[in-house]
Amino acid sequence: MKLDGRGLTDGAQLEFDVCIVGAGVAGITIARELEGCGLRVGVLESGGTEPQRSSRDAVRGPITGYSYYRHGLARARAFGGSSRLWPLEEGWRARPLDPIDFEVRPGIDPSGWPVTRDDLRTYYERAQRVCDLGPFSYEVADWQQPDTPPLPLDGSVSTTMFQLGSTDFGRYLTELERSEDIWLYLHATVVDIRTDNDATIVDRLVVAGDSGCRASVLARLFVLAGGGIDNPRLLLASRSRQRNGIGNEHDLVGRYFMERLSTRSGWIAPSDPALPARSGLYSTREAGSTRVEGTLRLHDEVIRREQLLNCVFFLLPRSRAFTAEGVRSAATLTKGRERTPRPADSLRHLRNIAVGAPSLLRLVCERLPGGRPSDMVLAVRPQAEQLPNPSSRVTLDRRKDRFGLSRAALCWRLSDLDRWSIRRSQDLLAAELRRCGIGTLQRPLGDEDPPALFEGNKHHMGTTRMHDDPRRGVVDRDCRVHGLANLYVAGSSVFPTAGASNPTLTIVALALRLAEHVKRVAQAGIKRTPRVEGR
């Protein structure tokens, strides 16, 4: 059933078996899995049924370090969470993490998950159905057709597939409204987590109402599913028993903020001018009832040998005019309006625009009705994992929101390895393209002036990372916060590494796995566990 948290009175007390904080992709998935299990499930969502401009105030906060999207463009307070911001007409990309993403890799520190890809396989298969995707298959042989063959690569690079989904998780509102097991409270903002005196078990949550009232929520188990910025924000702000915040004994909460890195990175001048027209496998297309898109990726053995971060390359058929430096600079300055701090080198970008005015004009003319590009190339766009970096982090700002909760401050840091790895991966791709006679890679990353702008994909990961050792992670392999018997975290904030795949499919798979665990524990009863000291 659906209720309005604005109707809660001061001192009110709610009781559930399981309480989920946040109704985004992870929270909704867990709630749906717990329905019909004989458990009373509460879901607390800070927003309403639709994203509202007024709710952006709750996600405002300072951003430092590398230029990044303003918070309101990457986070949504509403039922469905950030899925409400997805461009569903284009589709959101789905692909499982690669097996190598779960490995401890030399040269990539820290790396490794406490679970394997095989441990998640059955949950990935179920996640495909939850997300209304096609079969659990991402091999090119299952999706190519006679008119869309893969590039003839036979060495260190191969084609791998993405599927594209159109599911907005806000669609599940009616299902939860009709449930007799789920109490969905909208406009219910959690501002504090209260533990017992020993800080080994969560007693209650404090929920703030618009009028300034405070209500309490009691449960046997609690799950934080607020996203990669709000999960650490709430843990850090909950200091009634632990002065550094909950789960932060080893100063890890909020650290290792990761994104998935993209940038404009050169183009392929094909040996055969007809190649762009034959590269339909690498564009979004329908394959039966499933939308798919091909990419290029280095083989795992190459990634291990070269000690690289994982990376895929999207190939985008574009007019040659699109490759001009003036066009790139115009795109950079346009995107910079959405970011803070503003990208550097504005004067050099303006110089490129002035010098490249003919290319800009040609591109505009080609896009007018009746316009046709005279020459096509394949633009290369990498999508790469970011090295887990403890200096890239979410902290608390001294300013507070209207509920009295400290705002989240984001400092996004990139490393030299992030840049080097993409460039080295691109060099290996270029060598393979030349060897196979496909074409040459022009103006690769590092040859442009000014340097290319790196973009995140609004994927917030790593801030409550998973590790069995409490000195190296905030949650264990079951996503339980170290030292607390009944507090769990869901979502991509638990990712120890990011991989090159978009995170949603893995978020859903981990949520299904966590729901199975929570169901088992809740039905068996909570056992108070002693605090686990660092091993």
Q: Is residue 110, in this structure, part of any structural domain at all?
A: yes
Q: Would you say residue 157 lies in a domain?
A: yes
pLDDT recorded at residue 301? 97
pLDDT value, residue 218: 98
Is residue 283 in a domain?
A: yes
Distance CA 418, CA 65 (A): 15
Predicted confidence band of residue 146 (pLDDT cuts 50, 70, 90): confident
Q: Is residue 527 scored above 80 in pLDDT?
A: no
* pLDDT digits 0-9 by tens, 316-328: 988 887 777 877 7
* 531 lies in some domain: no
Instruction: Indicate if the pLDDT at residue 25 is higher than 90.
Output: yes
Is 498 among the domain residues?
Answer: yes
Q: How far is CA 262 from CA 341, 448, 501, in A?
A: 18, 15, 12
Assigned domain for 374 exists: yes
Distance CA 75, CA 229 (A): 9
DSSP string over 363-386: HHHHHSTT---SSEEEEEEEEEEP
Report how many domains make up the chain: 1
Q: Is 394 part of a structural domain of the chain?
A: yes
**Which residues on neighbouring strands pair with residue 193, listed in sequence order?**
205
295 touches 162 (CB < 8 A): yes
Mean pLDDT of 420-443: 95
Summarize pLDDT for 232-257 with one digit per residue, the tens. 999 999 999 899 999 999 999 999 99
Half-sphere exposure for 78 (CA within 13 Å, toward CB): 22
What is the spatial distance between Cα 355 and Cα 51, in angstroms, rounded to a whole number? 42
pLDDT higher than 60, residue 528? no
* CATH classification at residue 464: 3.50.50.60
> Structural domain of residue 33, as residue ranges?
2-524
What does the pLDDT look like over 436-475, one tens digit per residue? 999 999 988 877 777 778 889 999 999 999 999 999 999 9
Where does the pLDDT of residue 529 fall: very low under 50, low under 70, confident under 90, or very high at 90 and above?
very low
pTM: 0.94
Q: What gap in Å lies between CA 302 and CA 423, rounded to an integer?
A: 14
Residue 534 is predicted with a pLDDT of: 41
Tell me whether residue 533 is in a domain: no
